[in-house]
Amino acid sequence: MNALTLAEAAALWRGILAHTTHTIEYVPPDTAWGRIAAADICAAHPYPPYRKSPFDGYALCLNGKERSYEVVATIGAGEHYDEPVLPGQAVRLMTGCAVPRSCQAVVMQEAVRRQGKRIELTTIPLPEDNIIPIGEECLSGEVLLSQGTYLTSGAVSVAVAMGNTAIPVYKDVRVLLVTSGRELVMAGQERQYGQIYNSNAYLFQQLLRNEGIRSAAFCHVSDAPERLASEIERVRELAADADLILSTGGVSVGLYDTMPQLFQHLGARELYRRIAMRPGSASYGGLIERKGGNAVPVLGLSGNPSAAFNAFHLLAVPVLRQLRGEKRGDFPVVTCRLNGNLTKENPVDRFVQGRLSFAQGQPVFTPNHVVTSSALLGLKAANALALRPKHSPPLTNGAEVPVLLLRRI
């Protein structure tokens, strides 16, 4: 099977998952973060719902050019004053307070001189000065969060501000994460010569959490052919209710790369075995059909940390977001100034890990020192991928380079 380009693979998955059905459920606000809105969330009332003060001060019933006002009441946040305020009278109020209906302006407390129950203005305000109007941010019925929105903490706070106690979200995706390789041991276990710690297990569980997946089933399998049968049954049991199977390792062309065999025994139909990109070319795509339910994507990524990191963001994240019902599946592209050199030849599309930062207000991309498939230490700071199309010429320090920012904005 020929290698697919990344664009071809993305289009393939979009087509396959276009008819995925999503179940809607309602959750309390404290569990809505990271979920996907299943319906438009609209403003039940204008915001703010009353005229309010932007700071501590005095609400005035204006009296021409008079500078002296009588203070008739004091109110704090959450309180309101409903008595008539006559011309030449004032109400002391705190930040966020509702401005009495008969007051036309607010002055800062620092802008007055007070003696007893009277204040003297240093300047004469105009009508509506320093009053935040009703509906400044939105009017009743406006769509605040559209269907398919990833619910950040700020988005949840907006939903709550509109009085929502139950947030409509899509039922979350259940992920099975499988790592592969007899050379891997978990943190805390004794490591023998020739073995390494299973860093991918921790890397991808956290990357899944970053996508809003709070928990994922996990198992590790060896790549020993004699254990294949028992490991198939173990994975089959864990995959019974999975909506997505994600694996790292065992998908290349080595003698012990048995993950494609395992996927085949699970009923997966192979879609591709290779993507024309570096690092991350060793990538398996498959699909398990289920009667009466959605098909289950199977994404087998390289076991090399750098390659797997790239493939997760470029291949797995768009699939995961579409499965979850999110409307936006891509990452933003930022044109950056290159801090370093990118001179490696590109027979296929290359995605160079590094860090996007800012210098004098301009975006700068600093590539990792080591950019091989098996590189590990650069992951500690990587937040972006430089896009290097195949056969593109070398880039030197200071050149412009398009960069994929691996963050939501």
Report pLDDT for 214.
Answer: 86
Report pLDDT for 257.
Answer: 62
Residues 176 and 309 in one domain: yes
HEC string of 179-224? EECCCEECCCCCCCCCCEECHHHHHHHHHHHHCCCCCCEEEEECCC
Q: Return d(Cα 256, Cα 264) in angstroms, integer.
A: 16
Residue 154 falls inside a structural domain: no
**Cα angle 390, 394, 398; round to 5:** 125
Report pLDDT for 183.
Answer: 81
CATH number of domain containing 95? 2.170.190.11
Residue 368 falls inside a structural domain: yes
CATH number of domain containing 379? 2.40.340.10
Helix (H) or strand (E) holding 69: strand 68-75
Residues 185 and 264 in one domain: yes
Q: Tell me which amino acid residue 188 is.
A: G
Report pLDDT for 1.
Answer: 57
Q: What is the DSSP string of 72-137?
A: EEEE-TT----S---TTEEEEE-TTPBPPTT--EEEEGGGEEEETTEEEESSPPPTTTT-BPTTSS
Q: Please list the ranges in the chain whose pLDDT falls under 50.
A: none
CA–CA distances in Å: residue 203 to residues 168, 176, 180, 251, 308:
30, 14, 14, 18, 10
Residues 290 and 343 in one domain: no
Torsion over CA: 338, 393, 331, 406 (sign): negative
Residues 297 and 337 in one domain: no
Q: Return d(Cα 363, Cα 357) in angstroms, integer.
A: 6
Three-state secondary structure call for residue 379: helix
Q: What is the DSSP string of 254-310?
A: STT--HHHHHHHTTEEEEES-BSEES----EEEEE--TTS--EEEEEE-SSHHHHHH
Tokens representing 5? 């380009």
Residues 303 and 353 in one domain: no
Q: Return d(Cα 384, Cα 334) in angstroms, integer.
A: 10
Last residue of a domain, one of 105, 121, 137: 121
Q: 185, 191 in Cβ contact below 8 A? A: yes
pTM above 0.85, yes or no: yes
Q: Return d(Cα 9, Cα 274) in angstroms, integer.
A: 10
Residues 203 and 269 in one domain: yes
Q: Please state the domain count of the chain.
A: 3
Q: What is the DSSP string of 320-374?
A: HHHHHT-S-----EEEEEESS-B----SSEEEEEEEEEEETTEEEEEE-S--STT
CATH number of domain containing 292? 3.40.980.10
Residues 318 and 378 in one domain: no
Last residue of a domain, one of 303, 324, 345: 324
Last residue of a domain, one of 279, 297, 324: 324
Residue 245 falls inside a structural domain: yes
Name residue 98's beta-bridge partners: 52
Q: Tell me which amino acid residue 3 is.
A: A
Q: 124, 65 in Cβ contact below 8 A? A: yes
Residue 181 gets the label, from left (phi > 0), alpha (psi -120 to 50) or beta, of left
Residues 212 and 278 in one domain: yes
Residue 178 falls inside a structural domain: yes
Residues 287 and 342 in one domain: no
Residue 283 falls inside a structural domain: yes
Residues 268 and 177 in one domain: yes
Tokens representing 150? 């990833």
Residue 129 falls inside a structural domain: no
Residue 309 falls inside a structural domain: yes
Residues 180 and 316 in one domain: yes
Residues 63 and 104 in one domain: yes
Residue 155 falls inside a structural domain: no
The range of the structural domain enclosing residue 292 comes to 6-22+171-324
| Torsion on CA atoms 162, 214, 318, 346, rounded to nearest 10 | 130
Report pLDDT for 47.
Answer: 93
**φ and ψ at 134, to 5 degrees?**
-60, 135
Question: Which residues fall within 8 angstroms of residue 229, CB to CB, at 6 or more apart?
Answer: none
